[in-house]
């Protein structure tokens, strides 16, 4: 082994392909004869000195990460404050990194994770500790700026489009004497990318989903109900796809759960689907069914996009290459070089241009009615869900997902009191 170790960690909501990125990181590092430690449960594992030795995992187990959903090393929602505000935590991180000869740190996550990686790169610069920090992209929300798309989104988008298409066939079959309206809630706090992906389910004018509610468009109850009623009158039934993050005109989340906050300080959302269903039932008198796929949309590895898988692995390999080349404070991003045919490449982008920023749906992707997607949006989304990459299946009919041993590294420091 060369001098120094690489520390990898996962953060935020996991995806169907974040483990594929982890596997690519470990394989690329092994190829360069660099030892990889993984922090259990993200940056908290580094603070707690709760580290696992990936070199004790077999090559077959690491390869199997490519088809295993979830987060193999655990994740967290934990945000570091500034260097001045969290001096004790940064000192603890320095102590842990130094104790285990960590010279490269890769943090695999979204906006807040990019911020953490940026702060650690600044900590290294200020203290003179020889550490190269790389942010590795991941999020089903597709809201990271700079990158054309985010690993994890393509598979969640494919799951959403397929699920909406299948549910629409069910509703159409039952509409004569039963359900008239079906409401499908997707993730997306401020950005409507997953909601837009639901629009891929239909191609004709009256195809489902006939109504999409985006966070970028203020929710107007009267307009929404009028649209649903008109669709039911014309088609006989209606499918609604709604983002969890839709807001009233005054900026309040429609589904703000009592003003609660998550560990990142974001409003705790969820439940807009049943809320809209109740509204339709009460005010239009129509029979309604609703669903909130929640974790299902981000963990459905069995229907992952082959494009998404390839991109998840590519950013993992590039992250190792950038780290070992000393490209501090960057993220490997996906650059679309051609739409027809679809082509892409990986390039480095400064974390300072990415951290704490969000990419929302551009106006040209939402049609004039405010309830659907445009041809431009479809052209952007379509390549991202292309291709199938099913996992291997066991004899009992279930996917053959891997569970790593995650053997711990011996602690060298006193327990963290934080």
* 3-state SS, one letter per residue, for 17-81: CHHHHHHHHHHHHHHCCCEEEEECCCHHHHHHCCEEEHHHCCHHHHHHHHHCCCCCCCCCCCCCC
Token representation of residue 73: 């090393």
Q: What pairs with residue 305 in β-bridges?
A: 388
Integer Rg of the chain from CA: 22
Q: Which of 164, 149, 119 is nearest to 11 (CA)?
A: 119
Residue 371 half-sphere exposure, CB side, CA atoms within 13 Å? 21
Token representation of residue 10: 């996962």
Judge contact between 274 and 290, C-beta under 8 A. yes
Catalytic residue among 115, 141, 143, 308: 141
What residue ranges in 276-329 does DSSP mark as E strands?
A: 288-291
Judge contact between 400 and 31, C-beta under 8 A. no
Q: How far apart are CA 57 and CA 75, in angstroms?
A: 19
Cα dihedral 110, 116, 120, 125 in deg (nearest 10): 80
For this structure, is 141 an active site residue?
A: yes
Active site residues: 141
């Amino acid at each position: 082994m060369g001098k120094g170790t690489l520390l990898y960690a996962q953060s935020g909501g996991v995806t169907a392909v974040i483990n594929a990125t982890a596997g690519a990181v470990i394989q690329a590092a092994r190829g360069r004869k660099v030892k990889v430690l993984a922090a259990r449960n993200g940056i908290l594992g580094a603070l707690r000195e709760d580290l696992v030795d990936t070199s004790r995992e077999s090559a077959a187990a690491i390869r199997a990460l490519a088809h295993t959903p979830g987060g193999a090393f655990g994740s967290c929602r934990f945000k570091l404050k500034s260097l001045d505000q969290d001096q004790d935590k940064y000192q603890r991180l320095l102590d842990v990194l130094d104790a285990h000869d960590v010279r490269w740190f890769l943090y695999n996550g979204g906006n807040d994770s990019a911020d953490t990686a940026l702060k650690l790169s600044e900590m290294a610069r200020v203290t003179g500790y020889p550490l190269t920090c790389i942010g590795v992209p991941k999020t089903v929300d597709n809201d990271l700026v700079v990158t054309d798309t985010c690993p994890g989104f393509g598979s969640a988008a494919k799951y959403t489009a397929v699920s909406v298409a299948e549910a629409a066939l069910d509703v159409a079959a039952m509409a004569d004497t039963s359900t008239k309206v079906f409401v499908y809630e997707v993730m997306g706090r401020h950005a409507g990318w997953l909601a837009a992906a639901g629009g891929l389910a239909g191609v004709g004018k009256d195809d489902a989903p006939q109504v999409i509610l985006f966070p970028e468009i203020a929710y107007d109850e009267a307009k929404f109900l009028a649209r649903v009623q008109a669709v039911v009158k014309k088609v006989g039934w209606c499918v609604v796809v709604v983002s969890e993050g839709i807001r009233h005109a005054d900026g309040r989340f429609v589904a703000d759960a009592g003003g609660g906050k998550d560990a990142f300080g974001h409003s705790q959302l969820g439940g807009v689907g049943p809320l809209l269903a109740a509204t339709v039932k009460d005010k239009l008198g129509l029979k309604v069914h609703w669903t909130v796929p929640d974790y299902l949309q981000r963990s459905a590895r069995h229907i992952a996009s082959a494009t998404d898988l390839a991109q998840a692995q590519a950013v993992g390999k590039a992250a190792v290459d950038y780290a070992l080349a000393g490209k501090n404070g960057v993220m490997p991003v996906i650059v679309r070089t051609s739409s027809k045919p679809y082509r892409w490449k990986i390039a480095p982008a400064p974390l300072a241009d990415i951290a704490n920023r969000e990419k929302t749906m551009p106006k040209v992707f939402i049609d004039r009615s405010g309830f659907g997607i445009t041809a431009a949006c479809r052209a952007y989304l379509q390549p991202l869900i292309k291709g199938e990459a099913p996992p291997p299946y066991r004899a009992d009919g279930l996917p053959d997902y891997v569970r790593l041993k995650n053997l711990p590294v011996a602690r060298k420091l006193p327990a963290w009191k934080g």
